[in-house]
Homo-oligomer: A and B are copies of this chain.
Amino acid sequence: MTTIRQAGPKDHNRIWAILEPIFRAGDTYAVETNIRRNSALAYWMGGTHKTFVAFDSDESLGTYYIGPNHPGGGDHVCNCGFATDLAARGKGIARKMLAHALDTARADGYHAMQFNFVVATNLGALKIWFDNGFEQVGCLPKAFNHPTEGYVDALVLFKTL
């Protein structure tokens, strides 16, 4: 039974435990691989982001944030970031978090959801986004320096709600 609820300061350890190996690996997020805990939590949970955690009993499964992709005239389009705990991969957690995020986006009045920078080698994530109606609206040539693949494209995905 997966529960998803909004995160608070008491979830910092849980969230950092999920994010740290993903950011250190540096193969899916454009984040400094040596980012410090406080900076990572500020990025994930700070500013205009609303952040959620997914868990099963007390086991962490994943986390996501949602917020306006731009302020002002762009604030009707949201952006999200998703991270599934390495130990919980292959259980459909990302799909559950996406469904929750789409519900949250509609409830919060957003017109669309945009992912700015999906690394083209991240095929698992791309399959989930395309399965759920996202369209590729942009391709940024060689915009990501992958730790083992070298310079690879990053894709811009968009879904009208």
Contacts and interface: CB of A to CB of B under 8 A. Distances in A.
Contacts of A145: 73-76
A27 to B, nearest CB: 8
Contacts of A56: none
B30 A117 contact: no
A160 B58 CA distance: 48
B71 A30 contact: yes
29 contacts: A26-B72, A26-B73, A30-B71, A30-B72, A30-B74, A30-B75, A32-B72, A33-B72, A35-B71, A35-B72, A69-B143, A70-B143, A73-B119, A73-B145, A73-B146, A74-B143, A74-B145, A76-B145, A77-B143, A111-B151, A112-B141, A112-B143, A114-B140, A114-B143, A116-B116, A137-B138, A137-B140, A138-B156, A156-B156
Given A77-B140, A77-B143, A116-B116, 11 more contacts: A30-B71, A30-B74, A32-B72, A33-B72, A73-B145, A73-B147, A74-B144, A112-B143, A140-B158, A141-B160, A142-B160
- What 7 pairs between A and B have smallest CB-CB spacing? A138-B138, A30-B74, A30-B70, A73-B145, A31-B72, A32-B72, A138-B156
